[in-house]
Structure 1
């Protein structure tokens, strides 16, 4: 059963009251507030993400909290009962992308090979979200090549495994307190039962769909940020901007309805790659960001509201910049499909 909005608000309020510095470390108080047990659905994860951002103005808090639950729910759904029991409620991350090549399956090079003690993994991963704080990282690695096509497996690599090391990813300092890392696997050996899901199919069955899972649930972090931004405008001298504010409020409601539809399809198993609603919400978020920037420019820059609004808008901008290329490709594909329909008609 999904937690209701009042239940979510009560949990988030209880956590916030017990957490001394969410911008540095959001974990204190989360277990006591019941936020570390895996939520029952993607919709529950999404709604709590929105509540966390709306309460704190920190999308990175929802990334720290939500990342562990998304990885557990998506990847370990393909795992064994023993794996789910062992890692329930633990901080997990996933490593797919690699330096300079991103997540393209033809270009990845990290390999996993059988050895007497289990599986040896060698390679380097990049942009591992929450990797620095994860208790284990699920690594996607090549297990075989057939007729020039790489086959992939996914393997649970606990922190402390010999040969595993991390360092902060340079050049990206937004979305605090979430952190990204460069992950090096120098002959890391894990037992054979660390493999998750069917051997050889991890990329198409787990890694590829995960982007849509992240994007669909991530719309709620954006929703929480939009609601927080609108709240900062209350009580400011913008009475003459009622029409502009009304447009933002109305479009935020439209965004919320689209986001709810996405996670409903995700929980039902009917969300398709490149879902048009997902593309549309990304475009709508960019439009709302521009509208909010226009109003923010009317505020005296030294006021607390302007400072808070500037910070959340910067985080929204950073959120929309992540994986911009692949997401633009999906938008282009949607446009090309629309053109084909127009020609056919």
Structure 2
């Protein structure tokens, strides 16, 4: 076998291998991926077994200080209690956290405030070594304030989300009413509205739709929404839909009535807010403008009396 024959065999083998790689790649590109084939049918189902991405630095910190943080979180739970209230606020704020994870966040907030207070205390102790006990009390109070501020932050997040839900509710209710009046079923109307809207209320309705598609009855799914929400208007809306579906009453009329009720409630709240702001606007007038006006009116006369008096 000559050298040319060997080189020809090698080049032929390389060419055949390259062609096989190209053909296999083309075939794999033509075949749809499993996620592409399956995810459109399960995109709105609750992903209970989904693994959360964890940062390497955060994972290292949790691995080293995890037992200490969990013990501190258990201590905060024993002192504060109220796990039911925390769980409800987490649901209302749409935060994917457990009560224990929130307690760990409270401990982290407290430790951050403790670190700031401790740094200030060390500097103050270095300047004047005699004030040790008040500074220790200051660090303890800072830790407690950090824990309380974290709880208040959760309440504010839940309240802001409820305000967004109230703003979005009339539009979503009207869209549902239009879809139902056009002849769609409640589930189809809910699916259409969820796919074409985005917001806080849409997130809750998508959870309801996921429960319905996993086999829960429509009435029970909306009853769950009524139990989770902290807004009476949304609770009445969910209960009204559940009753309308179970008893066969006209659903479009119920949705229109719910939307009008929410708009009327928003109008009343706006009027009440305006009345409160009107009272607050009188404070600078009474305590700032009026005294200055009185001084400008009577001061020249008072100076004149002093000059005329013997």
Give yes or no for TM over 0.5.
no
Provide TM-score, normalisation by structure 1.
Answer: 0.23
- More helix, by proportion: 2
**Higher relative contact order at CA 8 Å, sep ≥6: structure 1 or structure 2?**
1
Provide TM-score, normalisation by structure 2.
Answer: 0.25
Larger-Rg structure: 2
